[in-house]
């Protein structure tokens, strides 16, 4: 089941909200959320819902053990056990096939390559439960003694299958003490509609362009066509994933949870370090909090830690070399900027910084797109006109001409338009009333347009479902 489906929007969500609102007792509300969350997950993963419950149970027990033996060696053993089991499960399902394939190629062996269907959302909920046990060990959060409450945290359907990665500390208090205000419901509904529109109206249509341009024979694609495809793909990923995050945050508000932001207009960045402070913030925060400051070989090593973080950032996204290259590619530029220092970077003209950062970002998303390394090599050759292909091709010209309005809309809404509107609302009560009425009209229009576009949609998954 996906958020961007008519069944979810007009059947599952309304029934869940009705059941949730039928009682004021928080214990019952939590039970309702657990039931609906497990149904939501089992809808697409009837077998692997058991793995989700198992993962939650394992870390619930480990949390209790860490609390019981705090300050003793058994507490550290419990933490190591939690990390081993969680990362082991993730490695088996997500990386075992990739590992065996590379061993076969490297050593000329013929080992049987494991083939597992990747459980949806495993990368997200595994990192969430890991954050809980580590924070328990560091005494940053109180141990959760109710398995039902902990299962609700792990399985909470608004953010279960594609994030954002919600640390236990973020909603620790709201698990046992929360209420949904009219303001939360209104803001949540608006955020859901905006996220839905990002996905259905913009991202889905951008994906058609990407399939046409980059999905064909990349070796014969023109120079301009290659850059055009990479730029549109970067926009597609942004609107797809930020759209899901908007819907997740909005749905959380409807049930009284306040998740952290996951995107903050990343394309307005002036350098790559800033881009990663604005893009997939929950993943970057996770690695910063739990990996960047690890003592390697006895002490903290800044650049070795940076390499580890960016290697893991790439690997987290998928079991393929292009994702590892993608992570290290961005890591190199973060390292260079860190080495130069903020003072030297600020001396560079602003326009130069913007051009540099956008070029690096768009090339990076080309790396992200091509899992086949031969196609990736051809992509790089095309970018710099090494293949000897045409400067521009007819397919690219026709595609751009037919989709120029869509592309302009996608570019414009990469800027903080909503923040500008919020500032206008604060200036006067008249402006507040006008904008509130406009907001209602916009919400209705976006929901109607999105719903019409979903009528014939047979398969409408979010990109990050596969991670």
Residues carrying an active site annotation: 317
Question: Given the structure tokens 């939360």, which residue do they identify?
Answer: 184
Residue 299's φ and ψ, nearest 5 degrees, are: -150, 165
Q: In sequence order, what are the beta bridge partners of 296?
A: 299
The Cα-based distances of 251 to 255, 257, 262, 334, 371 in angstroms read 7, 8, 14, 34, 33
Are 362 and 237 in contact, with CB atoms under 8 Å apart? no
Are 211 and 129 in contact, with CB atoms under 8 Å apart? no
Are 62 and 82 in contact, with CB atoms under 8 Å apart? yes
CA angle 52, 114, 125 (to 5 degrees): 20
Are 462 and 4 in contact, with CB atoms under 8 Å apart? yes
**DSSP structural state of residue 142:** -
Are 302 and 237 in contact, with CB atoms under 8 Å apart? no
Helix (H, G, I), strand (E, B) or coil at 274: helix
* DSSP letter for each residue of 411-428: HHTTS-HHHHHHHHHHH-
**Secondary structure element (H or E) that encloses residue 9, with its range:** none
Q: Which of 57, 79, 75 is nearest to 67 (CA)?
A: 75
């Amino acid at each position: 089941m996906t958020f961007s489906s008519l069944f979810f929007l007009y059947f599952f969500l309304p029934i869940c909200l009705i059941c949730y609102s039928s009682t004021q007792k928080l214990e019952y509300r939590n039970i309702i959320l657990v039931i609906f969350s497990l149904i939501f997950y089992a809808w697409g993963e009837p077998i692997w819902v058991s793995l989700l419950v198992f993962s939650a149970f394992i870390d619930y027990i480990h949390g209790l053990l860490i609390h019981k033996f705090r300050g003793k060696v058994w507490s550290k053993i419990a933490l190591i056990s939690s990390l081993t089991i969680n990362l082991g499960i993730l490695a088996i399902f997500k990386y075992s096939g990739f590992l065996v394939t590379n061993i076969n190629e490297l050593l000329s062996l013929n080992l049987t390559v494991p083939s597992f269907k990747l459980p949806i959302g495993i990368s997200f909920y595994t990192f969430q439960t890991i954050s809980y046990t580590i924070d328990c060990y560091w005494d940053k959060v109180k141990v959760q003694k109710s398995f039902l409450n902990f299962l609700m945290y792990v399985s909470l359907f608004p953010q279960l299958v594609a994030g954002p990665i919600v640390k236990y500390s973020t909603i620790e208090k709201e698990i046992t003490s929360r209420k949904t205000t009219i303001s939360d419901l209104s803001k949540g509904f608006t955020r859901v509609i905006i996220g839905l529109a990002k996905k259905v109206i913009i991202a889905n249509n951008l994906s058609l362009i990407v399939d046409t341009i980059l999905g064909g024979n990349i070796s014969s694609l023109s120079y301009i066509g290659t850059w055009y495809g990479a730029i549109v793909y970067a926009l597609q990923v942004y609107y797809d994933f930020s759209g899901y995050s908007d819907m997740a945050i909005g749905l959380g508000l409807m049930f009284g949870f306040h998740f952290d932001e996951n995107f903050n207009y990343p394309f307005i960045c002036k350098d790559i370090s800033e881009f990663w402070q604005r893009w997939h913030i929950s993943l970057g925060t996770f690695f910063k909090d739990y990996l960047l400051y690890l003592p390697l070989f006895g002490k903290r090593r800044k650049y070795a830690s940076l390499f580890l973080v960016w290697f893991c950032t790439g690997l987290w996204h998928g079991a393929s070399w292009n994702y590892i290259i993608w992570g290290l590619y961005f890591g190199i530029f973060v390292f260079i900027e860190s080495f130069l220092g903020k003072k030297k970077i600020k001396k560079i003209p602003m326009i130069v910084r913007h051009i540099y950062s956008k070029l690096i970002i768009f090339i990076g998303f080309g790396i992200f797109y091509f899992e086949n390394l031969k196609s990736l090599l051809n992509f790089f050759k095309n970018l710099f006109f090494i293949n000897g292909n045409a400067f521009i091709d007819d397919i690219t010209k026709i595609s751009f001409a037919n989709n120029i309005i869509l592309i302009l809309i996608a570019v414009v809404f990469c800027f903080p338009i909503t923040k500008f509107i919020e500032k206008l609302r604060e200036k006067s009560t008249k402006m507040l009333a006008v904008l509130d009425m406009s907001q209602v009209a916009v919400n209705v229009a976006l929901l109607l347009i999105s719903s019409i576009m979903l009528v014939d949609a047979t398969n409408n998954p979010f990109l990050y479902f596969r991670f």
